[in-house]
Structure 1
Amino acid sequence: MMSAVADEQEILSGEAVAIDVQPVGFVLRAAGALIDMAIGFALFLAVTWVQVWLMSEGLLSEHTFRILMISAAVLSFLVLPITIEVAMRGRSVGKLAVGGRIVRIDGGAITFRHTFIRALVGVLEIYMTFGGAAVITGALTARSQRLGDLVAGTYSQRVRTPALPSHQPPLPHSLRGWATIADVARMPDRLARRISQFLANAQRLSPAARSSVAQELAAEARPFISPVPAVSAEELLMGITVLRREREQRALKMSDERAERLSGRRIGV
């Protein structure tokens, strides 16, 4: 089971593995919500049109028409979102389009209770205010949470990860033995980006500049490595990058498998 959130973009698994997670941004989340709203309104208008036609044909009384209108609104704006989100394990058509999934604050799978609360509050903040209340709360919260998320304790997590960069340095042959015992700690994001940028552009640097930058980056990275292999600075940077890439791929795979497993157990509870 997931433990507490280490920070807003990192979760610690039960095995104490740090998994980077990102909430869906405000603009993308708004776009996904518009898609879901359009589907809800489309269903409502379709059902309403059928009822109006039946009434015009004398097949419905005015009293029955009013009852069916309320039923159509409940079906379109409450039952439909709940059914889709439960069936798709935290997703909807709009969330699929923007690459998001609704999860608990601790990163775990949501249950029927979370979905019901979000949909119930959503009737007020999305449909009755045409999204105005959701826009205000989403713009003021760090994870773009709408009011329903704040009440239910959920947020929209990005599950569509960007494609890996085309430049993928191979593990140097001299580091294959070291890679089986190496421990590379979590590095500052700025340092990791600088290393990746250096390796991507190393071929364009002059030999002197290439060696100088590699030495500087390797010196900054050594405190995060154990043991430190006796190789050139550039080989060390390549080894670090390969190990971090493999670790992040395993963590992302583990996160997806855990979410799917928990969803299968808990949806409908």
Structure 2
Amino acid sequence: MSDLVTGEAVVLGLRTAKLPSRGLAVTLDLAVQVVGLVVTTLVLSLLAPDLDGAAVAAVTIGLTVLFLVALPIMIETLSRGRSLGKAALGLRVVRSDGGPVRFRHSLVRGLVGFLEIIVLFGVPAVICSVVSSEGKRLGDVFAGTLVVRERVPGGGGAAAALPPVNPQLLQAIGGELVALDLSAVPEPLWLAVRQFLGRIGELDQAAAHRMSARLADDLAARTGHPVPYGVHPAAYLGAVLTERQRREWSRAQGHAFQQRARSQQQAQSYHQAQGQRQAQHYAPQQAPVQQQPLPATPPAPPSTPASGTGFAPPA
């Protein structure tokens, strides 16, 4: 078993493939490649029988490189580390940190593998695999890769790693999960839990139980609530992670509802303002009332001063 450590400091208890299984997988791959090479060569010889010796040598070298180097690299890259022989035996090539291989890893493995397996008849590969504790050959050493077992003997994936839990216990957990304070749990621990639960089907049952118990203890120390008695630690981790996702979804839904309400309110205010502008634009305009000028008042006649005799001449 290999103690691979991921970027989140999670130890992956993956079972490494040893020399017998790897040798059988390589034999199957080489058999398919050689058959394809022979069949293609025969077909070309029938289609072009008039080729000279130089052309035949060039075509033979090209087909050899294609079937023994290029195609294995391409298949391993596209299948994320699974060739025909590895798929038949339940093996996969992964990086040293447990991640999927990329083109550069497959390229190094293919070039070095052509030398150590085909040119040197597999002698360096056998010696290196026997000496290495993880069963690595030279191609794995230079590429930084590892061949692991996907189908662990006696395991049935995630369902086998997670034993059945009593529904009453799950119902009791549900009541406790609602009251858990998850604000003190750091994000790296959530990442470690998610990665562990995502790869629990690839781990040995004993290693998965140890890792789940350690992660559950770390989570319980952050939340202040121990793991309920009788509940598998992996099941508890999945329940707590589901509760966190439910809370995040509820917060996202509440935020989205507030955004929609705010948008509807703004749209309603905009439409009301537009309606008021249109009402003012199409309202009949009343002509201003012109005030008629008042007739000028004639000036009063000058008053005749009264005489002291009291006589007033006739008009």
TM-score class, shorter: 0.5 to 0.7
Letter aligned with residue 27 of structure 1: P
The answer to whether the 8 Å contact 2:18/2:129 transfers is: no
Runs of 4+ in 1 over 6 A off after TM superposition: 223-226
Runs of 5+ in structure 1 lacking a partner? 1-6, 194-222, 252-269
The answer to whether the 8 Å contact 1:13/1:19 transfers is: no
The answer to whether the 8 Å contact 2:16/2:135 transfers is: yes
- Deviations along 1:113-163, one digit per CA (max 9) or x if unpaired, are 111111111111111233232122112112211111111111112233421
Q: Identity of aligned pairs, percent?
A: 30
Q: Residues of 1 paired with 2:168 and 2:12: CA distance?
A: 29
Q: Determine if the alignment matches structure 1 residue 152 to structure 2 residue 143.
A: yes
| Structure 2 partner of 1:142 | 133
Corresponding residue to 2:101 among 97, 110, 115: 110
Corresponding residue to 2:16 among 10, 23, 39: 23
Between stretches 63-72 and 44-53, larger displacement belongs to 44-53
Q: Residues of 2 paired with 1:109 and 1:74: CA distance?
A: 25
Which entry has the higher C-alpha Rg, 1 or 2? Answer: 2
Q: Residues of 1 paired with 2:76 and 2:141: CA distance?
A: 17
1:116-131 equivalences under 5 Å are 116-131=107-122
Q: Residues of 1 paired with 2:119 and 2:131: CA distance?
A: 20
1:43-192 equivalences under 5 Å are 43-53=36-46, 57=49, 59-161=50-152, 162-163=155-156, 165=160, 168-171=163-166, 173-174=168-169, 176-178=171-173, 180=177, 189=206
Q: Residues of 1 paired with 2:76 and 2:26: CA distance?
A: 13
1:222-261 equivalences under 5 Å are 227=225, 236=229, 238-239=230-231, 241=232, 243-244=233-234, 247=237
1:103 Cα shift?
1.5
| Structure 1 partner of 2:34 | 41
Q: Residues of 2 paired with 1:62 and 1:98: CA distance?
A: 41
- Deviations along 1:14-61, one digit per CA (max 9) or x if unpaired, are 3x5444322223322221111111112112222333355467x4x211
The answer to whether the 8 Å contact 1:12/1:18 transfers is: yes
SS of 1:156's equivalent? strand
Letter aligned with residue 131 of structure 1: G
Q: Closer, same or farther in 2 for the Cα pair 1:171/1:129, shift >3 Å?
A: same
TM-score between the two structures when normalised by the length of structure 1: 0.61
Q: Residues of 1 paired with 2:74 and 2:47: CA distance?
A: 27
SS of 1:106's equivalent? coil
Q: Closer, same or farther in 2 for the Cα pair 1:165/1:141, shift >3 Å?
A: same
Q: Residues of 2 paired with 1:177 and 1:42: CA distance?
A: 61
The answer to whether the 8 Å contact 1:40/1:76 transfers is: yes
SS of 2:58's equivalent? helix
Q: Residues of 2 paired with 1:145 and 1:120: CA distance?
A: 15
The answer to whether the 8 Å contact 1:54/1:60 transfers is: no
Q: Closer, same or farther in 2 for the Cα pair 1:246/1:102, shift >3 Å?
A: farther
SS of 1:103's equivalent? strand
The answer to whether the 8 Å contact 1:11/1:21 transfers is: no
- Deviations along 1:148-179, one digit per CA (max 9) or x if unpaired, are 11111111122334215599442362574357
Q: Residues of 2 paired with 1:36 and 1:174: CA distance?
A: 49
RMSD: 4.0
